[in-house]
Chain A
Amino acid sequence: MSSNSRRNFLRNTAALTGGALASSASAAPLQIPQANQEPGRVIDETAYGMPSKFEAHVKRRRTDVFKNRQNLSDWSMTPLQYQPGIITPNGLIFERHHAGTPDIDPKTHKLVIHGMVKQPLEFAMDDLTRYPSVSRFHFHECSGNGLTDWLKPASTTVQQTHGLLSGVLWTGVPASTLLEEAGIDPKGKWVLFEGADSSAHARSIPLEKVLDDTIIAYAMNGEALRPENGYPVRVVIPGWEGNVSVKWLRRMKVGDQPWHLRSETARYTDPMPDGKWRQFSMVMECKSVITSPSGGQKLKGPGFYEITGLAWSGAGKVRAVDISTDGGKTWREAKLEEPIMDKCLTRFKAAWTWDGQPAVLMSRAVDSTGYVQPSVAEIQKKRAIVGFVQHHNAIQPWAINAGGEVRNVIGQA
């Protein structure tokens, strides 16, 4: 063997043995980039910063599965596949409203508390922002998240399967502070929250939850609420279905019974096998999803990947997340990334070396109550999966074929 062919042999052997773990191709000689050789943009006198033009594909989008024949009562979804960490940027937080987004002037907006209170009160926005504030990190999830994908795959990407989910730092006044100022009648048990939008959306909430951790919020992620997320003020009811966190809040009324509105009887109730409907099912139960690799992505070939995703629970904190790469036959525990907070998105990660063979990835979360995220089959033992079924917290499988393409295989894995 000549020294030349010996070198080639060694190089080829290295490529074969090391190729599965590291890129073996040599990098080309570097050129000085254009950005080094010309001045950049100057600072505008005033501006609201926007993402790089190269990130233009990172956008909310309406459902591409369900054909909505109007878009006043509509929703758009968060591109979770592009979100690192646990906080969703304000421009990407999912939207769901029932009659469009109003433009409300904070100078004229009023919040009223009345009903079974000693003294009905009206608050202007500059009254609400005068109170000492609280800030809390929480997940925010629509009860309809995943409703197109129960028994067979309809959605391609995690944005479409799980994008009615966002992570937010909410800032505002404890609802308890305002209610106690009005003086709650000892017979009061429920609070109605009502919006100033064109649907005047309203829900009945048990008083204990309102006094526990509910926030009258005027800010999110360090700035005023966005119009589509409730500007200038909304209620945030942590860990519960997003629908109860009424946006554009204009009124809180204390009563001794729930109101049984359309939004808590004919809608936002869950079909049961005996023909009945489960009502006031407001806690969002423990759930997780792998955001990378996820549907619609393509792996670059065998080798190292970090499997990562989000886990959360409306009943407490995430205690553990298990991942499977063989369709649920074997599982191992993923690493949880700090911070791990109550009713908040938690980021999980697990190292994985893909051998190039077909694989099915799954994640399964456990919360601080010991509750284990179920499969669709386990939910189906208890509930009827018929029509637009809410509260889908089942395990999401993603299949990877030999070509590295990642597909949604809910109901098939």
Chain B
Amino acid sequence: MSSARLKSGFAIVAGSLTVLSCANVGGGGAPAKSSTGIWMGSAGPHAVQPLPDKPRFGKPISEADVAAWNIDIRTSDGQGLPAGSGSVSQGQQVYAAKCAACHGADAKGGPVYGTMVGGIGSFKGSPRVLTPGSMYPYAPILFDYIRRSMPMDRPQTLSNDEVYALSAYLLNLNGLVPANAVMNAQSLPQVQMPNRDGFLLDDRPDTQATRCMTNCK
């Protein structure tokens, strides 16, 4: 695709809106599902093409220089968990100092948020009680989420040891690790979570509504 053609495409956007429409069926572009089985909702030519001129304005950076931002954990196997460790009892102390004000004593709920304990086995009834213990399929989600988002007034200020300790404490409160447990990059991914097999991949569209026009009810 030439640069001139791209520019005229942009002009169409501003000029005649109806020309924007692009086919949803056929063509050699995006499939309806990704190679990993995720429904994408598109099934036509790529709607937005990469730019043809290949200008290059990115500045090379080393992975080492990204380190302070590189905080994600692949929670299914713990890839990305850093060095450090923390025990249940250390976690109890960190929790009392930095978490209890919002989440309440023993993580049973406080003035702002509900309980983080229990709910295991509640998903076949109502209400479903969503806690890290009942809901998380993988224990490293605790580490990833606490480190990136908590405490709400000062996120990304906890040490890795403190995050491991809080993970240990919350897992213990949910009966998933013993009181003497120590969490680190090796032990945390090994914790067996009750909702490990509680998920199914998007299988929509799941409804079969029809376009009844008369005598419909």
A residues at B contact (CB < 8 Å):
69-70, 72, 98-99, 112-114, 119-124, 127-128, 130-137, 173-174, 176-178, 180-182, 189-190, 192, 194, 198-202, 206-209, 211-215, 238-240, 250-251, 253, 255, 257-262, 265-266, 269, 271-272, 274-283, 285, 314-317, 320, 322, 324, 327-332, 338-343, 364, 366, 368-369, 371-375, 378-379, 381-383, 386-387
Give Cα A177–Cα B55 distance, bound, in whole angstroms: 9
Give Cα A238–Cα B155 distance, bound, in whole angstroms: 30
The answer on a CB contact under 8 Å between A342 and B21 is: yes
Query: Of A114, A174, A276, A383, which one neighbours B63 at CB under 8 angstroms?
Result: A114
Q: In the assembled complex, which residues on chain A have CB atoms less than 8 Å from the CB atom of B149?
A: 98-99, 198-201
The answer on a CB contact under 8 Å between A238 and B47 is: yes
Question: Secondary structure of the B side of the interface?
Answer: loop
The answer on a CB contact under 8 Å between A174 and B51 is: yes
Q: In the assembled complex, which residues on chain A have CB atoms less than 8 Å from the CB atom of B155?
A: 99, 198-200
Q: How many A-B residue pairs have CB under 8 A?
A: 304
The answer on a CB contact under 8 Å between A69 and B112 is: yes
The answer on a CB contact under 8 Å between A330 and B21 is: no
Query: Of A265, A279, A330, which one neighbours B141 at CB under 8 angstroms?
Result: A265
- B146's closest neighbor in chain A, by CB? A262
Q: In the assembled complex, which residues on chain A have CB atoms less than 8 Å from the CB atom of B217?
A: 327-329
B28 at the interface (CB under 8 A from A): no
The answer on a CB contact under 8 Å between A137 and B41 is: no
How far is the CB of A131 from the nearest CB of chain B, in Å?
6
- B20's closest neighbor in chain A, by CB? A341
Task: Tell me the count of chain B residues lying within 8 A, CB to CB, of chain A.
Answer: 94
B residues at A contact (CB < 8 Å):
3, 6-7, 10, 13-14, 17-18, 20-22, 24-25, 29-31, 34-36, 38-43, 46-51, 53-63, 66, 69-76, 111-113, 123-124, 126-128, 130, 132, 135-138, 141, 144-145, 148-149, 152, 155-156, 195, 198-217
Instruction: Contacts A99-B149, A120-B61, A123-B57 given; indicate if A137 touches B20 (C-beta within 8 A).
Output: yes
Give Cα A119–Cα B66 distance, bound, in whole angstroms: 12
The answer on a CB contact under 8 Å between B207 and A176 is: no
Query: Of A316, A332, A340, A368, which one neighbours B213 at CB under 8 angstroms?
Result: A332
The answer on a CB contact under 8 Å between A114 and B40 is: no
Q: In the assembled complex, which residues on chain A have CB atoms less than 8 Å from the CB atom of B55?
A: 130-132
Q: In the assembled complex, which residues on chain A have CB atoms less than 8 Å from the CB atom of B39?
A: 280-283
The answer on a CB contact under 8 Å between B132 and A266 is: yes
